[in-house]
Amino acid sequence: MIAVRGLLIALVTVCALLPARESYAAVSMAELQRQAQQMRDREAKIWRDREAEQRQELQKQEAAASTAVARRARAEARSKALDAEWNANDQRIAEMRELLHQYQGNLGELFGVTRQVAGDAATVLNQSMLTVQFPVTEGEESREDLMRRIAAAKTLPSFDELNRMWFELHREMTENGKVARFTGLVREPDGEPAPAQIVRVGPFTAVSGGRYLAYDPAANVMNVLPRQLGGKRTGIAEDLESAAGGHVPAVVDPSRGPLLAMVAERPNIVERIQHGEVVGYVIVFVGVLGVLLSVFQYVYLILTRMSVTAQLRNLASPAPNNPLGRVLLAFRGDGAPVCSPEVAELRISEAVLRELPRLQRFQSFLRLCVAAGPLLGLVGTVIGMIITFHAITASGSSDPKLMAHGIGQAMIATVLGLGIAIPLLFINSGLSALSNGVTQILDEQSQALLAEDLKKRC
């Protein structure tokens, strides 16, 4: 195949070299064979050169592989040596720890446990509202100071100190499971501490005068929350304080104060609307207006449906106080016979069309409110994000506290927009159903009148 391909290439080359002005001449077989032999020789030389290059490259790759294998063997040997050294050091450390433990003895173990327990208890006692119920006598060390001194001591505490430490811990654990009533210092948000009756639920919640309290460790007093829990939770606090026994519901804060303060600081509906600012007021106004109009139309449609139903039971005596009666009166006119069915149909259609605007009143406006609510919310969202970006630009940092106002306004506007759109959507659907029901009755009766008129004519 190589010889034939070389022969063809040589033949094409010879033909291409011939001048255009000369006619094609036959090439001798010997010349073609010589050229083919030359091309075979060149191809063989090229293959030998390539084979030599590939063999050299293979030798290089084999040498590199041998080097890598040797490097890996050295690394594995180093790893085994380090592993053996690590095991030896670990065993030596374990032996030294065991020796240290033997040197310390039981006395050192007791000292360590005492310091650890005292250090952990100092923080718990500092945040416990039981400190208000069990104040220290004059000249006596507070239980928190006692725990911190024992935790930082270099020597073992005395038996009296250990005895009081056990007593304070035991009393703390026991009182945590009780509901107690006692007299302690209560401070108003803008006043001085004054004695007052306090009811506490374990170490979690305390109430006084129907108000929730928070413990202030720095002043060792109970502070009245500046913002109280409203609604049902206030009644729960009053019932708890006035209870003489039995079981009563109570608000319990597992975090001992912070969660209660967070719930108290949660804004109500009015405050959230105020936080939405101008856009929020506009959204609420549109929603309230839509609700008022829909309530008015609901009342009108219900009364109209009742009057139409009553008229259906007495079609012989139409009354002008309902749409069906007015349609019947319009069909009868002044009592003169109708000249043609077309005139009767036009008269009935005119009467029905005259009733439709009042039946479908305010529905277009409600659909507008449904569409405008999310758009107004989107406007508030954009304004809130602009405020957020201005706060970031002015402060030069992305502090969440600085961005909270703008983001809150954006989210509240979105919620208000959806809050008026979704209810108005259902309200408008109900209005449409009521008005369509009355319109259906008018259409049915109109067709019945026309059918009866045609029957009389026939």
- Residue 231 inside a domain? The answer is yes
- Residue 23 inside a domain? The answer is no
Per residue in 26-37, pLDDT (tens digit) is 457 888 888 888
Whole-angstrom distance, CA of residue 402 vs CA of residue 399: 5
DSSP single-letter state for residue 36: H
Same domain for 241 and 287? no
Task: Name which residue leads in pLDDT, 400 or 435.
Answer: 435
Same domain for 300 and 226? no
Least confident of 15-24, 39-48, 326-335, 403-412: 15-24
- Residue 376 inside a domain? The answer is yes
- Residue 234 inside a domain? The answer is yes
Question: Which residues have C-beta within 8 Å of that of residue 341, sequence separation ≥ 6?
Answer: 450, 453, 454, 457
pLDDT bracket for residue 274 (50, 70, 90): confident
Question: Which residues have C-beta within 8 Å of that of residue 127, sequence separation ≥ 6?
Answer: 215, 217, 256
Is 176 within 8 Å of 203 (Cβ atoms)?
yes
Mean pLDDT of the chain: 80
How many domains is the chain built from? 2
Q: What is the separation of C-alpha 220 from the centre of its chain, rounded to a whole number of angstroms?
A: 39
Last residue of a domain, one of 256, 285, 305: 256
Tokens of 4: 């034939």
pLDDT bracket for residue 410 (50, 70, 90): confident
Average pLDDT over residues 17-21: 42
- Residue 264 inside a domain? The answer is no
Task: Name which residue leads in pLDDT, 409 or 62.
Answer: 62
Same domain for 136 and 280? no
Amino acid, res. 389: F
Same domain for 407 and 278? yes
Per residue in 296-312, pLDDT (tens digit) is 999 988 998 888 888 88
- Residue 381 inside a domain? The answer is yes
Give the pLDDT score at 16: 43
- Residue 151 inside a domain? The answer is yes
Supply φ then ψ for residue 307, to 5 degrees. Answer: -70, -35
Measured N-to-C along each axis, helices 323-332 and 341-359 cross at an angle, to the nearest 10 degrees, of 160
Same domain for 180 and 144? yes
Give the pLDDT score at 105: 61
Last residue of a domain, one of 223, 256, 289: 256
Last residue of a domain, one of 222, 256, 290: 256
Sign (positive or negative) of CA dihedral 439, 442, 446, 448: positive
Give the pLDDT score at 17: 42
Same domain for 233 and 324? no
pLDDT at 52 over 50: yes
Q: What is the separation of C-alpha 43 from the centre of its chain, rounded to a whole number of angstroms?
A: 74
pLDDT at 417 over 80: yes
Domain carrying residue 418: 274-457
Same domain for 228 and 150? yes
This prediction's pTM: 0.52
